Amino acid sequence: MTLLHWTLPLPAGYRRDDVIAFHGRDTQAVAEQVTPTGLRKGILLAGVPVVLDVAFTDDAAICQADIDGNDDGFAGLQTPLHGALLNILGLRIDPQPFALLAAGDPLLAPLIRVNPGLRIVQSASPFEALTWAIIGQQINLSFAISLRRTFIVQAGRQHGSGLWCYPEARDVARLSVEELTSRKFSRAKAETVLRLARLVDEGALSLELPPSGDVAAISQALLAVKGIGPWTVNYALLRGYGYADCSLHGDVAIRAALQKLLGEEVKPDMARTEQWLRQYAPHRTMAAAHLWASLHAPEKNNSQAGE
């Protein structure tokens, strides 16, 4: 086993409990384990099982990557592992620019005061974010988490420590529709997940952002995949890439939160929600985060599993 170490400084007011709660949603702890002061998450990186181990102090995250194997070449994984750590610790999007933008907003400023420093915690990779979005769409959160657990055990691999690692595209591509539907996946979900995995595995679809960071090309490429629509793409941009300007107007929970915020009797439709969110560009991701948070203190089921 190879060990790599990092210490990541944490910003003032960092909400470690939010991060721990996000990664602790699966109480069976198949691929993520949490404690009151840390977390462990299993991922596959270039086919290699890795466990990311994070211990929080008051102002830093002490991070370790436990990599199966003893190859000195694993040092080359430092950059992608560092990126995965930034994702799972919610350090991609700085919440302050949005807080400044909305400081005088009569509707959102009170939400920010209730949840100062709120952050978007991401999946470790875009592929994980995309598959989670497909798995979780249009079902309640508890069922989505159960399907995700099944998916990890079917397609992922175990680290030497016993923790399961979330699969990569090549691992998912070898599955059949029947293997997924036999484990409570709808046929449509199974087909979309496998279609995505095979396109990525064959090199027909790249999930790498261009150096410019422009998301337009990857958004269009994803929308061209049968079964992937605008909501899935925006959710993947948010959870997979840490894109700061996602418009989640298609999310049922966002529309419910806006209805509550506006004090109206009926949820606004997608067109009106999109128009309303536009005023917070280029920080619509954080607007969505605060709208989600406004719906509940404890986590609730969500018809899009978006939270």
- Cβ–Cβ under 8 Å, residues 245 and 284: yes
Q: Are 30 and 165 in contact (CB under 8 A)?
A: no
Element containing residue 59 per DSSP (H, E): none
pLDDT at res. 75:
63
Question: What is the overall mean pLDDT for the chain?
Answer: 92
Residue range 17-73, pLDDT digits in tens = 999 999 999 999 999 999 999 999 999 998 899 999 999 999 999 999 999 976 655
The residue type found at 73 is: G
What's the CA dihedral at 103, 109, 113, 119 to 10 degrees? -80
292 pLDDT band, cuts 50/70/90, is: very high
Kind and range of the H or E element at 254? helix 252-262
- The two structure tokens encoding residue 203: 């090199």
Structural domains present in the chain: 2-94 (3.30.310.20)
The predicted model scores a pTM of 0.91
Q: How would residue 79 be classed by pLDDT, with cut points 50, 70 and 90?
A: confident
**DSSP conformational letter for 247:** -
**pLDDT digit string (tens) for 151-195?**
999 999 999 999 999 999 999 999 999 999 999 999 999 999 999
Whole-number Cα distances in Å, 239 to 19, 77, 112, 120, 275: 13, 21, 20, 8, 22
What was the pLDDT predicted at 297? Answer: 40
Q: In this predicted structure, what is the pLDDT of residue 202?
A: 97
Q: Where are the alpha helices (DSSP H) in 31-125?
A: 78-88, 96-101, 109-114
Q: Given this model, what pLDDT does residue 302 score? A: 39
Helix (H, G, I), strand (E, B) or coil at 62: strand
Task: Determine the pLDDT at residue 74.
Answer: 66
Per-residue confidence band for 2, with pLDDT thresholds at 50, 70 and 90: confident
Q: Is the peptide bond before 116 cis (omega within 30 degrees of 0)?
A: no
Provide mean pLDDT across the span 217-233: 94
Nearest to 125 by CA among 180, 62, 168, 183: 168
Instruction: Let me know: does 229 contact 238? Beta carbons within 8 Å.
Output: no
Give the separation between CA 231 and CA 247, rounded to whole angstroms: 9
pLDDT for 248 equals 92
Backbone angles phi, psi at 270, to 5 degrees: -65, -40
In which band, very low, low, confident or very high, does the pLDDT at 207 lie, cut at 50, 70 and 90?
very high
Q: What stretches of 57-156 adopt beta strand conformation (E)?
A: 60-67
Contact 52, 84 (CB under 8 A): yes
Q: What span, in angstroms and rounded, lies between the C-alpha atoms of 15 and 288?
A: 18
